[in-house]
Structure 1
């Protein structure tokens, strides 16, 4: 499937539909996380006291899942911001499994004189990530080509061609204020685009 020839990814109608699906799915997952606490409390009130030995570990799991879903739903606007700055590009063979079991996306450095110079973005370092689409499908070899919108030196959105399964990826220094923002090897134009997409730039 060919990438849309639009100025930005979000100019493509299929991309806007994919973003809306992603936003709806993440919002529903977030609301279900909140509802699970009500169900847990209901179970506590209707069962004997001794069942707390079982229910307390379940509460810890629910809290962790709720934290993940909160982060995901808050990242939906970040996806749209990136898609409004960068166009899609097709990158065959970009996804692979790293030695630590996470998914690694490798892209060409857009401004390096050596065309073989690669920049990697990782995904899947959190607990339970092995059950997610991007770990399972890459590990099984079902994902070859990916679509990428962004600058791999900062951040971007990866998707299954279509696009489907939108997911944000980022270098730590582009989103974490506890690290130093990247300054070297980036032109002023690329820096301004990354800043417009929501990245920290030097």
Structure 2
């Protein structure tokens, strides 16, 4: 959240600042030099705004679920056979049935390029994969979760990313069961999950 706020301030100041420098301190010959930077700062101003909803959602998840440090979490870059969406994914055990595996797909791709280079794939370099070992995890894979990598000292999480099942935020999708009880569903609601039924339909 702090980085989002600082980024928003920086890009808010960059647009008028660059425009002022161009008008006051340069000649018309330099307009085409400054124009791309001015337009890019304006673009980043609006893009930065889109980060705040995800940051608030991650905050709610972290207020409800504690961090766990997980080793050897399966991941992939292609479609998971049990997932309804294509894309990068992690696979976690079902909290109520450890024999059942639940994929969490990177549905939102903002700030996901860093993860793309580190999830299991044919071209993933071993030293990059090790950068997400152990994986910081907070949440319930049946609904939503926050994942993060360790800092250089392995003491704090960084590179936060929100993962969720599509029905959690999409009312057009039928909520899935995954064996969750009423208490599990209520906890997910407190963490920000939406479109949940206390008696969800079994997974097709």
**TM-score relative to the length of structure 1:** 0.68
Corresponding residue for residue 125 of structure 1: 109
Cα distance 1:129–1:67, how it changes in 2: closer, same or farther (>3 A)?
farther
Corresponding residue for residue 182 of structure 1: 175
1:66 aligns with 2:45: yes
**TM-align CA RMSD:** 3.1
- Partner Cα separation in structure 2 for residue 40 and residue 143 of structure 1: 38
- Partner Cα separation in structure 2 for residue 174 and residue 117 of structure 1: 18
Matches within 5 A, 1:108-147: 108-111=93-96, 113=97, 115-122=99-106, 125-126=109-110, 129-130=112-113, 132=114, 134-138=115-119, 139=124, 140-141=128-129, 142-147=131-136
SS in 1 for 2:2: helix
SS in 1 for 2:137: strand
- Partner Cα separation in structure 2 for residue 96 and residue 42 of structure 1: 48
1:80 aligns with 2:80: no
- Partner Cα separation in structure 1 for residue 90 and residue 31 of structure 2: 43
Q: 1:163 aligns with which of 144, 156, 167?
A: 156
Structure 2 unaligned spans of 5+? 80-85, 198-204
The higher radius of gyration belongs to: 2
Q: How many residues align?
A: 175
- Partner Cα separation in structure 1 for residue 168 and residue 45 of structure 2: 25
Q: 1:105 aligns with which of 71, 90, 98?
A: 90
* Greater percentage in helix: 1
